[in-house]
Chains A and B, each alone.
Chain A
Amino acid sequence: MATQGTDIIDIPGQRVPVVGERTKRRSLRPGSWQGYLFILPNLLGFAIFTLLPLAFALAVSFADWDVISGIDGIDWIGFGNFTELVRDANFWGSARNTLVYVGFSVPLTTAAGLGVAMALNGPIPGRTILRLVFFIPFITNTVAIGAVWLLLYHPRYSPLNGGLRNLGIENPPAWLASSDWAMPALVIIAVWAGAGYASIIYLAALQDISPDLYDAANLDGASSWERFKSITLPLLTPTTFFLLVTGFIGASQSFGLINLMTEGGPGRATTVLSYYVYQNGFEFYRFGYAAALSWVMFAGVLLLTLFLWRVQRRMVHYE
């Protein structure tokens, strides 16, 4: 009977591998122009909605411009925005806030995801339900998350603090109303919302690790901590690297929750760079300055990514 492959297409006779086929394939065949036809729809949209705006963002970062005065109102000021940025205390403040937010939320989310994945990979009753429970916050939209936590952190009626008082904590934090606690409050939400995703990525990676490795370690008399440290963790480093990098990129860009919950406050306690860019663009209408800020942000993310890339090249164990 026919095999699966021949069901789909009729192969005339047995194909014999031809020596040098590889090099032949590489050369440009007639009709290779068809490739452009295939990418054209996507490329066109990509050029209009991504490349063109990027070029514009580059140009306008050298200008002083608000949208009200129209294209004629563009005032070219060279590196003016960038020199202003260096002297802007609010820029440095929001850069610092970004580092704090990203630096805490991403590693904590990743670690929590690893913990959950390790547990759910074991013989736990109700794993499917648990997986769903941890995952639900991740598929919940920002506004619903913001709404729930705004009420949970409510300055007067906070049910969360009601619970904490029941546990014997006399003076629970004022959360979003306190400039010391607003940032931790946001980090808590980020970990809550992201741990389920990280755990799913980790679970997929854990299932790729051969049980033979653990059996070999067992024969050696390794403790479970030793097995985790010398088998699991090293084999998970590509996953960890992926989660950290995408986490850093994602967390440094999000401003929806901050816009909903704190509007950068109290004071400037939760004004991160992404929110500062949004403010400059759509509240102060300083489009040029917003563009300059976002280029600096991009440079920062790029540097961090390259740095992590170098670290992982030394650390990551690819099979």
Chain B
Amino acid sequence: MVAIAPPRSRWPRRGRGESKSEVMDRGTKVRWAVITLLMWAIALLFIAPFAWMIVSSLKREIDVFRLPIRWIPEPVTWGNYVEVWTGNYPLTKYIGNSLIVAVARVVGELFTASLAAYAFARMEFRGRNAIFVLYVATLIIPHQMLLVPRFILYREIGIYDTLWALILPGIFTVFGTFLLRQFFLTIPRDLSDAARVDGATEFQIYSRIILPLAKPALASLAILAFVWSWNDYETPLVMLTTEANFTVPLGLTRYIDEGGGFSAALIMAGAVSSVLPVIIVFLLLQRQFIAALARSGLKG
């Protein structure tokens, strides 16, 4: 009895037909070979600016723009890295600042967001939904609108031109609360109800039941918050003027707008140094990283 499967409301993840889709005829094989070649060609184009950045960072200044491009530096020069790490505008200083900001933001955001998310997802109180709608509504407000008032506010409360200007607003985010709330909603109610019957307080349920179960979501938020904090350029651009406080992206601009006398090799060494930590985080936590993006995307 061969029958075409009627539409069903729930499809099994691994259907009986899966083996069938693995069998490929000749035409399909040829097509995939072509697609593979094409994808690798496009990937080469995609990575070319990046490869050029790395190669140039290892060249002498006079060799950077020599055409045709030599993809293997000759001689290999590490001096650019020594200069950007320890020279007049030392990246070590900026990296230190970036790390302080990123770590403080991640820790603070995990704390305030998980507490608020717990209340929004699993507690009941008057005005809960109204407050939540207000939260979510501010997600589409243009960032620019907050720049000027925040600039004035920070000057009034004395955090303008300090690292706090980057840390504090990053601790109280709507996005983090929203992301965690969506995850907390998926944890079965019975777990916390049973604990309540046993006389557990709300805080105990939050810290001993929900948080341990929410580790993947907390990790997602931590990864995203770290990378966004590390890469943020626009906030420090507006809020910082003292060079000793610069984070990595802002510090990098020192090598770009140096009144025309910029050095391409130095900029590239700085750029490589600024990207490397994020790539390492990505390589180490690739699975979690991708899960984090998918989560922030699809549940949104």
Contact = CB atoms under 8 A, between A and B. Distances in A.
A163 B65 CA distance: 12
B67 A159 contact: yes
Contacts of A255: 144, 234
Contacts of A26: 124
B234 A212 contact: no
Contact of A277 (B119, B144, B151, B272): B144
B15 A162 contact: no
Contacts, number: 334
A60 interface: yes
Contacts of B31: 224
Nearest to A124: B36
Contacts of B111: 41
A45 B172 contact: yes
A52 B156 CA distance: 13
A42 B145 CA distance: 21
B115 A42 contact: yes
B147 interface: yes
Contact of A142 (B64, B198, B231): B231
B222 interface: no
Interface class of chain B by DSSP: helix
Given A211-B17, A274-B144, A291-B145, A45 B168 contact: yes
A25 B196 CA distance: 13
A35 to B, nearest CB: 3
Interface string A277-313: 1100110000100110111011001100100000000
A25 B68 CA distance: 72
B288 to A, nearest CB: 13
A263 to B, nearest CB: 10
Contact of A42 (B116, B194, B230): B116
A2 interface: no
Interface string A22-61: 0001101101111110110111111011111110110010
Contacts of B42: 116
A33 B127 CA distance: 11
Contacts of B275: 136, 139-141, 144
B108 to A, nearest CB: 9
Contacts of B268: 147-148, 151
Q: Chain B: interface residue count, which band?
A: 35 or more
B198 to A, nearest CB: 7
Contacts of A125: 36
Contact of A239 (B39, B198, B286, B298): B298
Interface in B117-143: 118-120, 123-126, 128, 131, 135, 138, 140-143
Interface string B28-48: 100110011011101100110
Interface in A60-100: 60, 67
Which one of B15, B149, B208 has the greatest number of beta carbons of chain A within 10 Å?
Answer: B149
Contacts of A34: 123, 125, 202
Interface stretch (A3-11, A102-110, A167-175): A3-11
B82 interface: no
A101 interface: no
Given A39-B131, A57-B149, A141 B233 contact: yes
B252 A144 contact: yes
Contact of B12 (A132, A210, A252): A210
A281 B146 CA distance: 11
B256 A211 contact: no
Contacts of A48: 153, 172
A141 B235 CA distance: 13
A150 B112 contact: no
A50 B194 CA distance: 37
Interface of A: 5, 8-12, 15, 25-26, 28-29, 31-36, 38-39, 41-46, 48-54, 56-57, 60, 67, 116, 119-120, 122-126, 130, 132-137, 139-144, 146-152, 154, 157, 159, 162-163, 166, 192, 195, 197, 200-201, 204-205, 210-216, 218-220, 224, 238-239, 242-243, 246, 249, 252-256, 259-260, 274, 277-278, 281-282, 287, 290-291, 293-295, 297-298, 301-302, 305
9 contacts: A56-B152, A116-B42, A124-B35, A139-B231, A140-B275, A146-B256, A166-B68, A200-B293, A291-B145
Given A205-B298, A256-B233, 19 more contacts: A5-B190, A15-B190, A28-B125, A32-B125, A42-B172, A50-B138, A120-B39, A139-B227, A141-B278, A147-B53, A147-B255, A159-B65, A192-B46, A195-B46, A210-B11, A210-B15, A212-B5, A242-B300, A282-B238
Interface of B: 2, 4-5, 11-18, 20-21, 24, 28, 31-32, 35-36, 38-40, 42-43, 46-47, 49-50, 52-53, 56, 64-65, 67-69, 111-113, 115-116, 118-120, 123-126, 128, 131, 135, 138, 140-153, 168-169, 171-172, 174, 177, 190-191, 194-195, 197-198, 200, 202, 206, 208-209, 227, 230-231, 233-234, 237-238, 248-250, 252-253, 255-256, 264, 267-268, 270-272, 274-275, 278-279, 282-283, 286, 290, 293-294, 297-298, 300
